[in-house]
Copies of this chain bind each other. A is one copy, B any other.
Amino acid sequence: MNAWLNRFPLSASADPASPSETAALELSGACPDLKVSLNLQKEMGDRFSISGDPSGYHLSGGETGLLYGAWHLILSHAANDLCSGSVESAPRYALRMINCWDNPDGSIERGYSGRSLFFRDGKLSYDPSRIQTLARLMASVGLNTLCINNVNVRFPAQKLLEEDLPDLARLAALFRPYGVRLMLSVDFSQPMRHGVPTADPLDAQVQAWWAETARRVWTAVPDLAGFLVKADSEGQPGPFTYGRNHADGANMLAQAVRPFGGVIVWRCFVYNCRQDWRDTATDRPKAPWNLYAPLDGCFAENVILQVKNGPFDFQVREPLSPLLLGMPKTQKALELQLAQEYTGQQIDLFTMAPMWKEIFEDMPEDRISAIAAVSNWGDDENYTGHPLAAVNLFTYGLLAWNPSIDPRQAVSRWIALTYPGFTAGEHTLLTDLLLSSRRTYEKYTAPLGIGWMVTPHTHYGPNPSGYEYDLWGTYHKANHEAIGIDRTAGGTDYLSQYPADFAQKYASPEQCPDLYLLFFHRLPYTWRMRDGRTLIQRIYDDHFEGLAETRAMRDTLLSLPFPEEDRPEILRRMDRQLANAREWCDVINTFLYRLSGIPDEHGRKIYD
Protein backbone atom coordinates (compact mmCIF):
# COMPACT_ATOMS: atom_id res chain seq x y z
CA MET A 1 0.00 0.00 0.00
CA ASN A 2 1.21 3.48 -0.78
CA ALA A 3 -1.12 5.82 1.14
CA TRP A 4 -2.54 8.35 -1.33
CA LEU A 5 -0.32 7.04 -4.13
CA ASN A 6 -2.01 3.65 -4.36
CA ARG A 7 -3.30 4.49 -7.81
CA PHE A 8 0.08 5.65 -9.08
CA PRO A 9 2.49 2.72 -8.88
CA LEU A 10 5.95 3.43 -10.13
CA SER A 11 7.16 1.13 -12.86
CA ALA A 12 9.47 -1.46 -11.40
CA SER A 13 12.34 -0.48 -13.68
CA ALA A 14 12.20 3.21 -12.74
CA ASP A 15 15.62 4.56 -11.95
CA PRO A 16 15.52 8.31 -12.59
CA ALA A 17 18.76 10.26 -12.19
CA SER A 18 17.32 13.66 -11.32
CA PRO A 19 14.09 15.27 -10.13
CA SER A 20 13.31 16.50 -13.64
CA GLU A 21 13.70 12.96 -15.00
CA THR A 22 11.47 11.77 -12.17
CA ALA A 23 8.90 14.38 -13.18
CA ALA A 24 8.72 13.00 -16.70
CA LEU A 25 8.61 9.43 -15.51
CA GLU A 26 5.84 10.05 -12.99
CA LEU A 27 3.74 11.90 -15.55
CA SER A 28 4.06 9.20 -18.15
CA GLY A 29 3.29 6.53 -15.58
CA ALA A 30 0.33 8.21 -13.93
CA CYS A 31 -1.26 10.15 -16.79
CA PRO A 32 -0.11 8.55 -20.05
CA ASP A 33 -2.90 10.31 -21.93
CA LEU A 34 -2.10 13.77 -20.65
CA LYS A 35 0.05 15.78 -23.02
CA VAL A 36 2.60 17.72 -21.00
CA SER A 37 5.69 19.49 -22.24
CA LEU A 38 8.44 20.03 -19.69
CA ASN A 39 10.64 23.07 -19.74
CA LEU A 40 13.53 23.02 -17.30
CA GLN A 41 14.54 26.44 -16.04
CA LYS A 42 17.08 25.74 -13.38
CA GLU A 43 16.89 29.16 -11.75
CA MET A 44 13.23 28.52 -10.87
CA GLY A 45 14.31 26.00 -8.23
CA ASP A 46 11.23 24.64 -6.43
CA ARG A 47 8.89 26.94 -8.35
CA PHE A 48 6.76 25.87 -11.28
CA SER A 49 4.29 27.34 -13.70
CA ILE A 50 1.69 25.58 -15.80
CA SER A 51 -0.24 26.84 -18.74
CA GLY A 52 -2.66 24.94 -20.89
CA ASP A 53 -3.59 25.26 -24.54
CA PRO A 54 -5.20 22.91 -27.05
CA SER A 55 -1.85 21.16 -27.57
CA GLY A 56 -1.65 20.23 -23.90
CA TYR A 57 -0.03 21.49 -20.73
CA HIS A 58 3.25 23.39 -20.58
CA LEU A 59 5.12 22.92 -17.36
CA SER A 60 8.10 25.09 -16.52
CA GLY A 61 10.18 24.86 -13.40
CA GLY A 62 13.54 24.22 -11.83
CA GLU A 63 14.83 20.69 -11.29
CA THR A 64 12.52 20.19 -8.33
CA GLY A 65 9.94 22.67 -9.63
CA LEU A 66 9.23 20.32 -12.53
CA LEU A 67 8.74 17.45 -10.10
CA TYR A 68 6.32 19.41 -7.93
CA GLY A 69 4.52 20.68 -11.03
CA ALA A 70 4.25 17.14 -12.35
CA TRP A 71 2.66 15.99 -9.08
CA HIS A 72 0.35 18.99 -9.18
CA LEU A 73 -0.87 17.82 -12.58
CA ILE A 74 -1.08 14.17 -11.58
CA LEU A 75 -2.99 14.73 -8.36
CA SER A 76 -5.29 17.37 -9.84
CA HIS A 77 -6.00 15.09 -12.75
CA ALA A 78 -6.73 12.19 -10.45
CA ALA A 79 -8.94 14.34 -8.23
CA ASN A 80 -10.79 15.66 -11.25
CA ASP A 81 -10.01 19.28 -10.53
CA LEU A 82 -7.38 19.99 -13.14
CA CYS A 83 -8.16 23.50 -14.28
CA SER A 84 -7.40 24.78 -17.72
CA GLY A 85 -6.13 28.18 -16.58
CA SER A 86 -2.51 28.88 -15.79
CA VAL A 87 -0.89 28.13 -12.47
CA GLU A 88 2.09 29.77 -10.83
CA SER A 89 3.28 28.13 -7.68
CA ALA A 90 6.13 28.68 -5.26
CA PRO A 91 6.59 27.27 -1.81
CA ARG A 92 6.32 29.60 1.14
CA TYR A 93 9.32 27.99 2.86
CA ALA A 94 12.52 26.67 1.32
CA LEU A 95 12.97 24.00 4.02
CA ARG A 96 9.91 21.78 4.31
CA MET A 97 11.04 19.17 6.75
CA ILE A 98 10.09 15.84 8.22
CA ASN A 99 11.84 14.85 11.46
CA CYS A 100 11.95 11.12 12.13
CA TRP A 101 12.57 10.08 15.72
CA ASP A 102 13.99 6.73 14.62
CA ASN A 103 16.58 4.95 16.71
CA PRO A 104 19.35 2.72 15.36
CA ASP A 105 17.79 -0.33 17.04
CA GLY A 106 14.74 0.12 14.83
CA SER A 107 12.44 1.52 17.48
CA ILE A 108 10.75 4.87 16.91
CA GLU A 109 10.34 7.26 19.83
CA ARG A 110 6.64 8.16 19.90
CA GLY A 111 6.08 6.01 16.83
CA TYR A 112 2.69 4.39 16.36
CA SER A 113 3.08 2.83 12.93
CA GLY A 114 5.51 0.03 13.50
CA ARG A 115 9.29 -0.01 13.38
CA SER A 116 11.78 2.20 11.60
CA LEU A 117 11.94 2.20 7.83
CA PHE A 118 15.62 3.14 8.01
CA PHE A 119 17.30 1.33 10.87
CA ARG A 120 17.63 -2.14 12.31
CA ASP A 121 20.09 -3.78 14.69
CA GLY A 122 22.12 -0.62 15.16
CA LYS A 123 22.65 0.12 11.48
CA LEU A 124 21.00 1.59 8.43
CA SER A 125 18.92 -1.22 6.99
CA TYR A 126 16.01 -0.70 4.64
CA ASP A 127 13.90 -1.92 1.78
CA PRO A 128 14.79 0.31 -1.21
CA SER A 129 11.30 0.05 -2.66
CA ARG A 130 9.76 1.36 0.56
CA ILE A 131 12.32 4.18 0.63
CA GLN A 132 11.27 5.04 -2.90
CA THR A 133 7.64 5.13 -1.81
CA LEU A 134 8.50 7.49 1.06
CA ALA A 135 10.42 9.71 -1.33
CA ARG A 136 7.48 9.77 -3.72
CA LEU A 137 5.02 10.52 -0.90
CA MET A 138 7.18 13.45 0.18
CA ALA A 139 7.71 14.75 -3.35
CA SER A 140 4.03 14.46 -4.23
CA VAL A 141 3.20 17.05 -1.58
CA GLY A 142 6.34 19.16 -1.91
CA LEU A 143 8.31 18.06 1.16
CA ASN A 144 12.05 18.28 0.56
CA THR A 145 14.05 17.68 3.73
CA LEU A 146 14.22 14.55 5.85
CA CYS A 147 15.98 14.08 9.15
CA ILE A 148 16.18 10.31 9.53
CA ASN A 149 17.32 9.86 13.13
CA ASN A 150 15.96 10.73 16.56
CA VAL A 151 16.81 14.10 18.08
CA ASN A 152 17.62 12.09 21.20
CA VAL A 153 20.82 10.72 19.71
CA ARG A 154 21.57 7.38 21.29
CA PHE A 155 24.55 5.23 20.52
CA PRO A 156 25.29 3.99 17.88
CA ALA A 157 23.54 6.77 15.92
CA GLN A 158 26.83 8.67 16.13
CA LYS A 159 28.26 6.21 13.62
CA LEU A 160 26.24 7.87 10.87
CA LEU A 161 29.01 10.50 10.91
CA GLU A 162 31.66 7.82 11.22
CA GLU A 163 31.93 4.39 9.70
CA ASP A 164 28.29 4.31 8.58
CA LEU A 165 28.77 7.35 6.36
CA PRO A 166 29.04 5.32 3.13
CA ASP A 167 25.71 3.68 3.99
CA LEU A 168 24.21 7.11 4.54
CA ALA A 169 25.47 8.24 1.14
CA ARG A 170 23.72 5.27 -0.49
CA LEU A 171 20.46 6.16 1.26
CA ALA A 172 20.78 9.82 0.22
CA ALA A 173 21.19 8.69 -3.38
CA LEU A 174 17.80 6.94 -3.22
CA PHE A 175 16.08 10.12 -2.10
CA ARG A 176 17.96 12.54 -4.40
CA PRO A 177 15.92 11.97 -7.62
CA TYR A 178 12.83 12.86 -5.60
CA GLY A 179 14.17 16.23 -4.49
CA VAL A 180 14.54 15.07 -0.90
CA ARG A 181 17.72 16.04 0.95
CA LEU A 182 18.70 14.26 4.11
CA MET A 183 19.49 15.83 7.47
CA LEU A 184 21.02 14.25 10.56
CA SER A 185 20.40 14.71 14.27
CA VAL A 186 23.81 15.01 15.88
CA ASP A 187 25.22 14.45 19.34
CA PHE A 188 26.73 17.69 20.63
CA SER A 189 29.32 15.74 22.61
CA GLN A 190 30.43 13.59 19.70
CA PRO A 191 34.00 15.00 19.54
CA MET A 192 34.61 13.32 22.87
CA ARG A 193 34.19 9.92 21.22
CA HIS A 194 37.31 10.77 19.25
CA GLY A 195 39.84 11.74 21.83
CA VAL A 196 38.87 15.40 22.12
CA PRO A 197 38.77 15.98 25.90
CA THR A 198 35.81 18.40 25.77
CA ALA A 199 32.81 19.41 23.69
CA ASP A 200 33.14 23.08 24.64
CA PRO A 201 32.03 25.03 21.55
CA LEU A 202 34.70 27.68 22.12
CA ASP A 203 37.51 25.13 22.22
CA ALA A 204 39.68 25.12 19.10
CA GLN A 205 40.04 21.34 19.05
CA VAL A 206 36.26 20.96 19.16
CA GLN A 207 35.80 23.45 16.35
CA ALA A 208 38.45 21.69 14.30
CA TRP A 209 36.83 18.32 14.88
CA TRP A 210 33.45 19.53 13.67
CA ALA A 211 34.99 21.35 10.68
CA GLU A 212 36.80 18.21 9.61
CA THR A 213 33.75 16.08 10.26
CA ALA A 214 31.58 18.38 8.15
CA ARG A 215 34.11 18.15 5.35
CA ARG A 216 34.02 14.35 5.48
CA VAL A 217 30.26 14.20 5.73
CA TRP A 218 29.55 16.63 2.89
CA THR A 219 32.15 14.89 0.74
CA ALA A 220 30.09 11.73 1.11
CA VAL A 221 26.67 13.42 0.89
CA PRO A 222 27.17 16.73 -0.96
CA ASP A 223 23.54 17.80 -0.72
CA LEU A 224 23.06 17.03 2.96
CA ALA A 225 20.71 19.72 4.29
CA GLY A 226 22.37 20.11 7.65
CA PHE A 227 22.33 19.01 11.25
CA LEU A 228 19.43 19.00 13.72
CA VAL A 229 20.37 19.48 17.37
CA LYS A 230 18.55 18.88 20.65
CA ALA A 231 20.98 20.31 23.19
CA ASP A 232 20.74 20.62 26.97
CA SER A 233 17.29 19.09 26.87
CA GLU A 234 15.96 16.05 28.68
CA GLY A 235 19.44 14.66 29.25
CA GLN A 236 21.03 15.48 25.89
CA PRO A 237 24.48 17.10 26.05
CA GLY A 238 24.92 20.76 25.15
CA PRO A 239 26.89 23.97 25.65
CA PHE A 240 25.60 24.53 29.22
CA THR A 241 28.07 21.92 30.45
CA TYR A 242 30.86 24.33 29.53
CA GLY A 243 29.22 27.54 30.73
CA ARG A 244 28.41 28.53 27.12
CA ASN A 245 25.07 29.65 25.77
CA HIS A 246 23.06 28.20 22.93
CA ALA A 247 24.28 30.77 20.42
CA ASP A 248 27.84 29.70 21.18
CA GLY A 249 26.85 26.11 20.58
CA ALA A 250 24.80 26.63 17.44
CA ASN A 251 27.22 29.09 15.86
CA MET A 252 30.18 26.78 16.30
CA LEU A 253 28.35 24.06 14.37
CA ALA A 254 27.08 26.62 11.86
CA GLN A 255 30.61 27.67 11.06
CA ALA A 256 31.61 24.06 10.48
CA VAL A 257 28.81 23.39 7.97
CA ARG A 258 28.71 26.79 6.25
CA PRO A 259 31.34 25.99 3.58
CA PHE A 260 29.07 23.23 2.35
CA GLY A 261 25.81 25.16 2.36
CA GLY A 262 24.57 23.30 5.42
CA VAL A 263 22.23 24.66 8.07
CA ILE A 264 22.02 24.04 11.79
CA VAL A 265 18.47 23.47 12.96
CA TRP A 266 18.62 24.05 16.70
CA ARG A 267 15.64 22.96 18.77
CA CYS A 268 14.24 25.30 21.43
CA PHE A 269 12.62 22.53 23.48
CA VAL A 270 14.65 23.27 26.60
CA TYR A 271 13.22 23.41 30.12
CA ASN A 272 13.87 22.11 33.61
CA CYS A 273 12.76 18.48 33.46
CA ARG A 274 13.73 17.89 37.09
CA GLN A 275 11.34 20.43 38.55
CA ASP A 276 10.09 20.00 42.09
CA TRP A 277 6.28 19.99 42.06
CA ARG A 278 6.40 22.11 45.22
CA ASP A 279 8.22 24.89 43.34
CA THR A 280 5.60 27.40 42.22
CA ALA A 281 8.12 30.02 41.10
CA THR A 282 9.01 27.99 38.02
CA ASP A 283 6.44 27.76 35.22
CA ARG A 284 7.60 25.48 32.46
CA PRO A 285 6.01 27.30 29.50
CA LYS A 286 8.17 30.30 30.32
CA ALA A 287 11.41 28.40 29.81
CA PRO A 288 12.00 28.66 26.02
CA TRP A 289 11.44 32.42 25.89
CA ASN A 290 13.56 33.05 28.95
CA LEU A 291 16.39 31.08 27.44
CA TYR A 292 16.32 32.18 23.81
CA ALA A 293 14.77 35.65 23.58
CA PRO A 294 17.85 37.35 25.07
CA LEU A 295 19.94 35.74 22.31
CA ASP A 296 18.03 37.34 19.43
CA GLY A 297 20.54 38.58 16.87
CA CYS A 298 23.32 36.39 18.20
CA PHE A 299 22.82 33.43 15.91
CA ALA A 300 24.74 32.86 12.68
CA GLU A 301 22.71 33.23 9.51
CA ASN A 302 22.72 29.52 8.76
CA VAL A 303 21.21 28.72 12.15
CA ILE A 304 17.48 28.11 12.35
CA LEU A 305 15.81 27.86 15.76
CA GLN A 306 13.13 25.18 15.64
CA VAL A 307 10.21 26.03 17.93
CA LYS A 308 7.30 23.78 18.81
CA ASN A 309 3.93 25.34 18.09
CA GLY A 310 3.08 25.68 21.76
CA PRO A 311 5.21 26.48 24.78
CA PHE A 312 4.72 23.05 26.35
CA ASP A 313 4.85 19.98 24.17
CA PHE A 314 2.30 19.12 21.50
CA GLN A 315 -0.74 19.09 23.77
CA VAL A 316 -4.21 18.93 22.27
CA ARG A 317 -4.46 22.68 22.69
CA GLU A 318 -1.81 25.21 23.56
CA PRO A 319 -1.52 28.88 22.78
CA LEU A 320 1.16 29.82 20.29
CA SER A 321 4.73 29.73 21.54
CA PRO A 322 5.76 33.35 22.22
CA LEU A 323 9.11 32.65 20.54
CA LEU A 324 7.26 32.39 17.24
CA LEU A 325 6.12 35.99 17.59
CA GLY A 326 9.45 37.28 18.84
CA MET A 327 13.15 37.14 17.99
CA PRO A 328 12.85 39.20 14.77
CA LYS A 329 16.59 38.98 14.07
CA THR A 330 16.64 35.18 14.19
CA GLN A 331 15.61 32.57 11.65
CA LYS A 332 12.96 30.27 13.02
CA ALA A 333 11.23 27.07 12.01
CA LEU A 334 7.83 25.97 13.28
CA GLU A 335 7.82 22.40 14.62
CA LEU A 336 4.61 20.38 14.42
CA GLN A 337 4.05 16.76 15.39
CA LEU A 338 2.29 14.41 13.00
CA ALA A 339 2.96 11.50 15.35
CA GLN A 340 -0.09 11.55 17.61
CA GLU A 341 1.82 11.34 20.88
CA TYR A 342 -0.76 13.14 23.01
CA THR A 343 -3.51 13.14 20.43
CA GLY A 344 -4.62 9.56 20.12
CA GLN A 345 -1.57 7.65 18.91
CA GLN A 346 -3.07 6.86 15.55
CA ILE A 347 -5.81 4.91 17.31
CA ASP A 348 -8.07 7.89 17.88
CA LEU A 349 -8.85 10.12 14.91
CA PHE A 350 -7.26 13.54 15.15
CA THR A 351 -7.00 15.46 11.89
CA MET A 352 -4.59 18.30 12.42
CA ALA A 353 -5.24 20.74 9.58
CA PRO A 354 -7.77 22.81 11.57
CA MET A 355 -5.26 23.15 14.40
CA TRP A 356 -2.55 24.34 12.00
CA LYS A 357 -4.99 26.87 10.58
CA GLU A 358 -5.34 28.35 14.07
CA ILE A 359 -1.57 28.51 14.45
CA PHE A 360 -1.20 30.49 11.25
CA GLU A 361 -4.09 32.74 12.23
CA ASP A 362 -2.04 33.69 15.28
CA MET A 363 1.35 33.75 13.57
CA PRO A 364 1.97 35.69 10.36
CA GLU A 365 3.59 33.41 7.79
CA ASP A 366 6.70 35.52 7.60
CA ARG A 367 7.64 35.03 11.23
CA ILE A 368 9.21 31.74 10.28
CA SER A 369 11.49 30.76 7.47
CA ALA A 370 11.14 27.00 7.62
CA ILE A 371 8.72 24.35 8.83
CA ALA A 372 9.16 20.90 10.28
CA ALA A 373 6.95 18.08 11.49
CA VAL A 374 7.71 14.97 13.46
CA SER A 375 6.92 12.00 11.24
CA ASN A 376 3.93 9.75 11.78
CA TRP A 377 5.21 6.94 9.59
CA GLY A 378 6.73 3.55 10.23
CA ASP A 379 7.00 0.15 8.64
CA ASP A 380 3.33 -0.74 9.00
CA GLU A 381 2.05 -1.79 5.60
CA ASN A 382 0.03 1.42 5.27
CA TYR A 383 2.86 3.61 6.66
CA THR A 384 0.75 5.55 9.19
CA GLY A 385 -0.77 2.80 11.33
CA HIS A 386 -4.27 4.16 11.02
CA PRO A 387 -5.18 4.42 7.33
CA LEU A 388 -6.88 7.75 7.98
CA ALA A 389 -3.80 9.19 9.72
CA ALA A 390 -2.22 9.60 6.29
CA VAL A 391 -4.36 12.71 5.93
CA ASN A 392 -2.06 14.47 8.40
CA LEU A 393 1.09 13.70 6.41
CA PHE A 394 -0.59 14.74 3.16
CA THR A 395 -2.05 17.99 4.44
CA TYR A 396 1.18 18.85 6.23
CA GLY A 397 2.89 18.83 2.85
CA LEU A 398 0.29 21.20 1.41
CA LEU A 399 0.60 23.45 4.46
CA ALA A 400 4.39 23.59 4.24
CA TRP A 401 4.05 24.70 0.63
CA ASN A 402 1.26 27.15 1.33
CA PRO A 403 0.24 27.82 4.95
CA SER A 404 -2.91 29.63 3.89
CA ILE A 405 -4.33 26.43 2.43
CA ASP A 406 -7.93 25.82 3.45
CA PRO A 407 -8.17 22.79 5.77
CA ARG A 408 -11.39 21.57 4.17
CA GLN A 409 -9.92 21.74 0.70
CA ALA A 410 -6.75 19.94 1.79
CA VAL A 411 -8.61 17.15 3.58
CA SER A 412 -11.05 16.84 0.74
CA ARG A 413 -8.22 16.49 -1.76
CA TRP A 414 -6.70 13.66 0.27
CA ILE A 415 -10.02 11.84 0.39
CA ALA A 416 -10.51 12.27 -3.34
CA LEU A 417 -7.12 10.68 -3.98
CA THR A 418 -7.42 7.94 -1.39
CA TYR A 419 -11.06 6.92 -1.74
CA PRO A 420 -11.95 7.84 -5.33
CA GLY A 421 -14.91 5.49 -5.26
CA PHE A 422 -16.82 7.51 -2.67
CA THR A 423 -19.96 9.30 -3.76
CA ALA A 424 -20.13 13.04 -3.19
CA GLY A 425 -22.22 12.40 -0.10
CA GLU A 426 -19.81 9.88 1.32
CA HIS A 427 -16.94 12.20 0.53
CA THR A 428 -18.60 15.01 2.47
CA LEU A 429 -19.40 12.74 5.41
CA LEU A 430 -15.77 11.73 5.74
CA THR A 431 -14.53 15.28 5.22
CA ASP A 432 -16.77 16.57 7.99
CA LEU A 433 -15.80 13.73 10.27
CA LEU A 434 -12.08 14.28 9.83
CA LEU A 435 -12.36 18.04 10.18
CA SER A 436 -14.31 17.71 13.43
CA SER A 437 -12.17 14.93 14.87
CA ARG A 438 -9.80 17.23 16.71
CA ARG A 439 -12.58 19.04 18.55
CA THR A 440 -14.17 15.75 19.47
CA TYR A 441 -10.89 14.42 20.83
CA GLU A 442 -10.35 17.68 22.67
CA LYS A 443 -13.80 17.49 24.25
CA TYR A 444 -13.36 14.06 25.78
CA THR A 445 -9.79 14.58 26.96
CA ALA A 446 -8.23 17.29 29.15
CA PRO A 447 -10.59 20.21 29.73
CA LEU A 448 -10.31 23.75 28.35
CA GLY A 449 -6.60 23.93 27.62
CA ILE A 450 -5.44 22.27 30.81
CA GLY A 451 -3.43 19.51 29.13
CA TRP A 452 -1.23 16.76 30.56
CA MET A 453 -3.97 14.60 32.07
CA VAL A 454 -2.54 11.63 30.17
CA THR A 455 -1.03 8.40 31.40
CA PRO A 456 2.57 9.24 32.25
CA HIS A 457 5.25 8.05 29.83
CA THR A 458 2.93 6.28 27.37
CA HIS A 459 0.73 9.38 26.92
CA TYR A 460 -2.36 7.42 25.88
CA GLY A 461 -5.49 7.43 27.98
CA PRO A 462 -6.50 9.49 31.00
CA ASN A 463 -4.62 9.94 34.26
CA PRO A 464 -5.69 13.27 35.70
CA SER A 465 -3.07 13.28 38.46
CA GLY A 466 -0.40 11.31 36.66
CA TYR A 467 1.98 14.23 36.26
CA GLU A 468 0.77 16.21 39.25
CA TYR A 469 3.57 15.29 41.66
CA ASP A 470 6.18 14.60 39.03
CA LEU A 471 9.30 16.35 37.74
CA TRP A 472 8.05 17.66 34.42
CA GLY A 473 6.58 21.03 35.31
CA THR A 474 3.10 20.14 34.10
CA TYR A 475 0.64 20.77 36.89
CA HIS A 476 -3.03 21.71 37.13
CA LYS A 477 -3.20 21.86 40.94
CA ALA A 478 -6.88 21.00 41.00
CA ASN A 479 -8.32 21.11 44.50
CA HIS A 480 -11.80 21.00 46.00
CA GLU A 481 -12.55 24.52 44.77
CA ALA A 482 -10.53 25.41 41.70
CA ILE A 483 -8.31 24.20 38.87
CA GLY A 484 -5.61 25.67 36.65
CA ILE A 485 -2.51 27.85 36.85
CA ASP A 486 -2.76 31.64 36.79
CA ARG A 487 -0.30 32.63 34.07
CA THR A 488 -1.33 36.30 33.97
CA ALA A 489 0.48 39.19 35.63
CA GLY A 490 -1.14 38.18 38.90
CA GLY A 491 0.33 34.71 38.59
CA THR A 492 3.42 33.36 36.85
CA ASP A 493 3.26 36.20 34.29
CA TYR A 494 3.94 33.86 31.39
CA LEU A 495 1.50 36.05 29.47
CA SER A 496 3.97 38.94 29.42
CA GLN A 497 6.13 37.01 26.97
CA TYR A 498 3.62 37.86 24.22
CA PRO A 499 3.21 41.14 22.36
CA ALA A 500 0.71 43.27 24.25
CA ASP A 501 -2.11 43.03 21.71
CA PHE A 502 -1.73 39.27 21.56
CA ALA A 503 -1.62 38.90 25.34
CA GLN A 504 -4.72 41.06 25.61
CA LYS A 505 -6.90 38.28 24.19
CA TYR A 506 -6.11 36.00 27.12
CA ALA A 507 -5.53 38.42 29.98
CA SER A 508 -8.89 38.32 31.72
CA PRO A 509 -10.94 35.21 32.35
CA GLU A 510 -13.99 37.11 31.18
CA GLN A 511 -12.43 37.72 27.73
CA CYS A 512 -10.22 34.68 27.32
CA PRO A 513 -11.48 32.24 24.68
CA ASP A 514 -13.08 29.28 26.45
CA LEU A 515 -10.75 26.69 25.01
CA TYR A 516 -7.71 28.45 26.47
CA LEU A 517 -9.35 29.39 29.74
CA LEU A 518 -7.59 26.95 32.06
CA PHE A 519 -4.27 27.35 30.32
CA PHE A 520 -4.12 30.97 31.46
CA HIS A 521 -6.32 31.13 34.53
CA ARG A 522 -6.99 29.38 37.80
CA LEU A 523 -10.73 29.38 38.33
CA PRO A 524 -13.29 28.00 40.74
CA TYR A 525 -15.56 25.25 39.49
CA THR A 526 -18.45 27.65 39.99
CA TRP A 527 -17.00 30.25 37.61
CA ARG A 528 -19.68 31.49 35.21
CA MET A 529 -18.76 31.10 31.58
CA ARG A 530 -20.01 33.65 29.07
CA ASP A 531 -22.80 31.30 28.05
CA GLY A 532 -24.07 31.13 31.63
CA ARG A 533 -22.86 27.66 32.42
CA THR A 534 -20.57 27.04 35.36
CA LEU A 535 -17.01 25.98 34.58
CA ILE A 536 -17.57 22.49 35.91
CA GLN A 537 -20.84 22.08 34.04
CA ARG A 538 -19.08 23.14 30.84
CA ILE A 539 -16.42 20.50 31.47
CA TYR A 540 -18.98 17.78 32.18
CA ASP A 541 -20.92 18.81 29.07
CA ASP A 542 -17.82 18.73 26.88
CA HIS A 543 -16.93 15.26 28.06
CA PHE A 544 -20.39 13.81 27.54
CA GLU A 545 -20.55 15.51 24.13
CA GLY A 546 -17.12 14.21 23.15
CA LEU A 547 -18.21 10.67 23.97
CA ALA A 548 -21.49 11.06 22.10
CA GLU A 549 -19.71 12.49 19.07
CA THR A 550 -17.30 9.55 19.12
CA ARG A 551 -20.23 7.15 19.06
CA ALA A 552 -21.69 9.05 16.11
CA MET A 553 -18.31 9.00 14.40
CA ARG A 554 -18.29 5.24 14.68
CA ASP A 555 -21.72 5.03 13.05
CA THR A 556 -20.50 7.21 10.21
CA LEU A 557 -17.39 5.13 9.62
CA LEU A 558 -19.48 1.97 9.61
CA SER A 559 -21.64 3.47 6.89
CA LEU A 560 -18.76 4.35 4.57
CA PRO A 561 -17.60 1.97 1.81
CA PHE A 562 -13.91 1.83 2.71
CA PRO A 563 -11.96 -0.60 0.56
CA GLU A 564 -11.25 -4.01 2.01
CA GLU A 565 -7.58 -3.25 2.72
CA ASP A 566 -8.53 -0.37 5.03
CA ARG A 567 -11.94 -1.14 6.46
CA PRO A 568 -11.14 -3.73 9.18
CA GLU A 569 -8.25 -1.66 10.52
CA ILE A 570 -10.33 1.53 10.54
CA LEU A 571 -13.17 -0.15 12.42
CA ARG A 572 -10.88 -1.92 14.88
CA ARG A 573 -9.22 1.35 15.77
CA MET A 574 -12.55 3.11 15.95
CA ASP A 575 -13.66 0.61 18.59
CA ARG A 576 -10.51 1.30 20.56
CA GLN A 577 -11.12 5.03 20.23
CA LEU A 578 -14.64 4.63 21.55
CA ALA A 579 -13.38 2.70 24.57
CA ASN A 580 -10.75 5.39 25.11
CA ALA A 581 -13.32 8.18 24.83
CA ARG A 582 -15.52 6.45 27.40
CA GLU A 583 -12.58 6.07 29.75
CA TRP A 584 -11.56 9.71 29.37
CA CYS A 585 -15.11 10.96 29.82
CA ASP A 586 -15.76 8.94 32.95
CA VAL A 587 -12.35 9.41 34.55
CA ILE A 588 -12.19 13.18 34.08
CA ASN A 589 -15.77 13.69 35.18
CA THR A 590 -15.30 11.44 38.22
CA PHE A 591 -12.02 13.11 39.10
CA LEU A 592 -13.63 16.55 39.16
CA TYR A 593 -16.80 15.35 40.78
CA ARG A 594 -14.83 13.74 43.60
CA LEU A 595 -12.93 16.99 44.07
CA SER A 596 -15.83 19.39 43.79
CA GLY A 597 -18.82 17.42 44.96
CA ILE A 598 -20.86 19.23 42.31
CA PRO A 599 -23.22 16.93 40.40
CA ASP A 600 -24.08 17.18 36.72
CA GLU A 601 -27.06 19.47 36.26
CA HIS A 602 -28.61 17.06 33.80
CA GLY A 603 -28.29 14.06 36.05
CA ARG A 604 -26.11 12.05 33.68
CA LYS A 605 -24.07 9.25 35.23
CA ILE A 606 -20.88 10.38 36.90
CA TYR A 607 -19.27 7.56 38.88
CA ASP A 608 -18.47 8.12 42.55
Contacts and interface: CB of A to CB of B under 8 A. Distances in A.
A593 B477 CA distance: 11
B479 A595 contact: yes
A491 B583 CA distance: 25
Given A463-B469, A464-B465, A586 B478 contact: no
Given A586-B278, A594-B595, A595-B594, A608 B469 contact: no
Interface residues of A, number: 26
A6 interface: no
Given A469-B462, A469-B587, A587-B469, A481 B597 contact: yes
A244 interface: no
A35 interface: no
Contacts of A597: 479-481
Interface string A146-170: 0000000000000000000000000
A591 B481 CA distance: 13
Contacts of A608: 280, 477, 479
Given A280-B608, A469-B462, A607-B278, A480 B594 contact: yes
A480 B592 CA distance: 10
A481 B596 CA distance: 10
25 contacts: A277-B607, A278-B586, A278-B607, A280-B608, A462-B469, A463-B465, A463-B466, A463-B469, A464-B465, A465-B466, A465-B591, A469-B583, A469-B587, A469-B590, A469-B591, A477-B594, A477-B608, A479-B593, A479-B597, A479-B608, A480-B595, A480-B596, A480-B597, A481-B597, A594-B595
A435 B277 CA distance: 33
Contacts of A607: 277-278
A280 B590 CA distance: 14
A477 B593 CA distance: 11
A134 B278 CA distance: 45
A192 to B, nearest CB: 28
Nearest to A461: B469
Interface in A446-466: 462-466
Across chains A and B, which 10 residue pairs bring their CB atoms closest together, nearest first?
A479-B594, A465-B465, A480-B480, A469-B587, A278-B607, A480-B597, A480-B595, A477-B608, A595-B595, A278-B586
Contacts of A278: 586, 607
A586 B477 CA distance: 14
Contacts of A469: 462-463, 583, 587, 590-591
A606 to B, nearest CB: 10
Contacts of A477: 594, 608
